[in-house]
Structure 1
Amino acid sequence: MTGRGVRDVVLVSLEPWDDVWRRNQHLAAGLLRRFPRARLLVVEPPRDPAHDALRRTRPRTGLGLRAGPPLDGVAAGRLWLLQQTKWLPRRADPGGDRRRAVGVRRAAARAGLRRPVLWANDPGAADVLAVTGWRTVYDVTDDWTSARRPPAEHARLVAAEAALLTGAREVTVCSPALAERKGGARTRGPVTLVTNGVDLAAYRRPRPRPRDLPAGPCAVYVGTLHRDRLDVDLCVRTQAALAGAGTLVLVGPVALDRDDAALLRGAGVVLTGARPFDAVPAYLQHAAALVVPHVVDGFTDSLDPLKLYEYRAVGRPVVTTPVAGFRDEGGAGDATGDGDGSPSGPAVTVVDAPGFPAAVRGRLTHPRPSAPADDVPTWEGQVTRFAAALERAAAAGPVRDGRPVSTPR
């Protein structure tokens, strides 16, 4: 792979660029190292002052266009960030999405990007595609059309995804479920499976116990705390079942409303808040058990949880509800988690929500030996797969409204 086909990329991301690294940042950093002449503009979700006010937090405006933070192995001036401002709700400002898309085009030019490939992770990137006609890779990591949303929001997501599935030169997905769903809806060509991965060396290097991890056995969950995924009521019941045996610890950004967060803390669940990506392995290594108290529905069934790879890399026992990815890893286990098990038994216990609290308690009171998995996909391998999709898109012509168009060089 020469890298000559990819010079500049604009990523419209579902998450901001911060210290909590997710799929986008691992792939982006790997791509910048893979393509030493490329530049990357990351379009973060816009700041929403009106929404801030409704949540009783200090309203903030977007930070605009700025240089990204330093990355090992990446020269300065190659990573740019853009955070715009969404001043009004869509119903009050129906033209806001298009104006922000025009702003993305202008920011890319100011950052020196020329004829970039659009890496669309947020379905809202459909507006950027419509405005620019850039060659596009639609990277589907969540099936937002299956998430519970108000009717108008659902209709917007469906229309945006249809435009991307039609207009994108390449479609990548992170899970087999998404491959089946989106492959059937795409007429332009096949979809490419690019799962998540992990930095094995980082997760297997021994770390000291984090100071904010409670004393005694801990059942640890790592991930953004959001009602779309996290079963808040199940977490409360699990902590009640752990009384006298240990503590449920949720490590990650808190995207819950104040009432949900207060309910968890009041029950004795520890919420650490966001932690830098290089600090996360320590929490997993010092857990008595790793847990996945997720909602099970059509949305979560489309996911390829990043924590699947992180949990497998450290090799601690896992208790999970039957969600995609993890349910394929699990064995029969013992439904209550109270049996003594054996070293050769499954490291992953898959159990429905009613039996989940007892299973977690069983793992804390009857530890089961386990070991790191040997066949965990790495970010290096996934960067190679995603880079190939970007190169194919870069070699193709741009499109608008699903049809090829010519642009001057």
Structure 2
Amino acid sequence: MATVKILMLSHTPDGSVFKVGSHHYARELSKRSISVAHVSTPRSLIHRAFDRSLFRPRASAHSGTAIDIFGTIHATPLIMAPIQLQPGGPSIARVVSDIGFSDANFIVIDQPLMAGYLAAARPEGKVIYRPTDTYTTWPAKQRQDHLLGVSDAVVATSSAVLERLTLPLNTPSLVLENGVELQKFMPSREVVRSGFIYVGAVDYRFDWESVAAIAAANPSEGVTIVGPVTSRPNGLPGNIVMAGGVPYDQVPGLLHRARIGLIPLNTSDVNQGRSPMKYYEYLAAGLSVLATSTQALRERTSAQTFLYEGASEAVTLSRLALASDAPNVEGMREAAAQDWAAKTDFLLQFLQKI
């Protein structure tokens, strides 16, 4: 597939504090001598006017392009109004044309808000929708419905997400969970481990009640929260440390010093189908996992994974997790089968059959 071109329309730009599945697929596909372009959710000129620190002024239709060390082209379109209010299709199409990917063989979309590109450009390549969440509100739900009507195939990150979609008859589909960059997260040596850690966004989906209860019940153990915070209650226990966002390359070192990785998801419906990026990263780093019991996570049976329902059960299971072996050697073995390189092989095999 040396001459194949794959266009990825994704949630998150390269260089963000978050490393998402599309970044990993782009890297692995490029390493296989496939031409890959990763175009991220458009940024709004209105937002730029209110927060110039987020954007560099440019007169072009995009905020600059870059080619990473693997050969992937990265670009982020600029549009007048937030993409939630306008489809942005023509602006995305101009960027795709500028970087030479109007003739991509495959268009892999995991950002339903970018569905306007398909109507504006009418690409001839195969369209693969890769939903990573359950969308139930406007405008993501409406644009997802449009995507499902024009997609040649669907690759969902969990069966819970796939089950909630209404697919046209005979649409090929595949469940391919998020994986782990194994070599980066496997520890090269062991250090003294202690406490709990969470890495990710702290927003409306975050279960602060359970995290606060876990911290209060284990006052001698630190609870480190790594990631940008947009939702935080008052009166948190003193052993909760807010570390803020850190570069992706620094995350493995933080995980190697902890015992338990937290995935605290609240009851928001969007959480039920999520395939958390940190799940296999925690395991690969040797951690036990303490997580909210969701449909997607109940489908997994990894060693030293403790799933709770409610703050009270979270406290009970936190003590069992602390009593478990550290590092979690069996969990590390299981994570080895979830490397992004293997996920990419599955994806390519699927694409070849469409």
Is TM (by shorter chain) over 0.5? yes
Can you list the C-alpha shifts for 1:345-386, whole angstroms capped at 9, x where unaligned? x61222222224523652576454532333332111111122
Question: What is the deviation of 1:26?
Answer: 0.6
User: Counterparts of 1:51 and 1:31 in 2: how far apart (Å)?
Assistant: 33
Structure 2 CA distance for partners of 1:10 and 1:261, relative to 1, 3 Å: same
Match of 2:329 among 349, 356, 371: 371
Residue number in structure 1 paired with 2:215:
239
Structure 2 CA distance for partners of 1:132 and 1:49, relative to 1, 3 Å: closer
Residue number in structure 2 paired with 1:137:
128
Residue number in structure 2 paired with 1:354:
311
Residue number in structure 2 paired with 1:397:
none
Residue number in structure 1 paired with 2:38:
42
Structure 2 CA distance for partners of 1:110 and 1:208, relative to 1, 3 Å: farther
Can you list the C-alpha shifts for 1:97-128, whole angstroms capped at 9, x where unaligned? 2xx32122222222223411322110022211
Partner amino acid for 2:291? Answer: T
Gaps of 5+ in 1: 146-153, 210-214, 332-345, 394-409
User: Counterparts of 2:83 and 2:289 in 1: how far apart (Å)?
Assistant: 42
Can you list the C-alpha shifts for 1:42-83, whole angstroms capped at 9, x where unaligned? 2222334655788x8856467625332532xx3xxx432222
Match of 2:113 among 101, 108, 124: 124
User: Counterparts of 1:218 and 1:57 in 2: how far apart (Å)?
Assistant: 38
Residue number in structure 2 paired with 1:187:
169
Can you list the C-alpha shifts for 1:216-272, whole angstroms capped at 9, x where unaligned? 8320112222222x11233233333332x11211123x1x43xx3474878552222
Give me the TM-score of the superposition, normalised by structure 1: 0.73
SS at match of 1:189: coil
Question: What is the deviation of 1:3?
Answer: 4.1
Match of 2:76 among 71, 83, 87: 83
SS at match of 1:237: helix
Does 2:192 match 1:219? Answer: no
Partner amino acid for 1:191? Answer: S
Residue number in structure 2 paired with 1:380:
341
User: Counterparts of 1:324 and 1:53 in 2: how far apart (Å)?
Assistant: 41
User: Counterparts of 1:168 and 1:365 in 2: how far apart (Å)?
Assistant: 46
User: Counterparts of 1:216 and 1:191 in 2: how far apart (Å)?
Assistant: 41
Kindly indicate whether the alpha-carbon contact (under 8 Å) linking 1:321 and 1:356 is maintained by their aligned counterparts in 2.
Answer: no
Kindly indicate whether the alpha-carbon contact (under 8 Å) linking 1:319 and 1:349 is maintained by their aligned counterparts in 2.
Answer: yes
Partner amino acid for 1:181? Answer: R
Kindly indicate whether the alpha-carbon contact (under 8 Å) linking 2:255 and 2:282 is maintained by their aligned counterparts in 1.
Answer: yes
Higher relative contact order (CA 8 A, sep 6+): 1
Give me the TM-score of the superposition, normalised by structure 2: 0.84
Can you list the C-alpha shifts for 1:250-302, whole angstroms capped at 9, x where unaligned? 123x1x43xx3474878552222233333222222211222222113432111
Partner amino acid for 2:42? Answer: P
Partner amino acid for 1:199? Answer: E
**Larger radius of gyration, structure 1 or 2?**
1
User: Counterparts of 1:50 and 1:267 in 2: how far apart (Å)?
Assistant: 39
Can you list the C-alpha shifts for 1:199-226, whole angstroms capped at 9, x where unaligned? 32322232687xxxxx983201122222
RMSD: 3.1
User: Counterparts of 1:87 and 1:59 in 2: how far apart (Å)?
Assistant: 15
Kindly indicate whether the alpha-carbon contact (under 8 Å) linking 1:123 and 1:164 is maintained by their aligned counterparts in 2.
Answer: yes
Can you list the C-alpha shifts for 1:288-320, whole angstroms capped at 9, x where unaligned? 222222113432111111222112223322222
Does 2:7 match 1:14? Answer: no
Partner amino acid for 1:44? Answer: S
Residue number in structure 1 paired with 2:154:
171
User: Counterparts of 1:127 and 1:62 in 2: how far apart (Å)?
Assistant: 24
User: Counterparts of 1:357 and 1:303 in 2: how far apart (Å)?
Assistant: 19
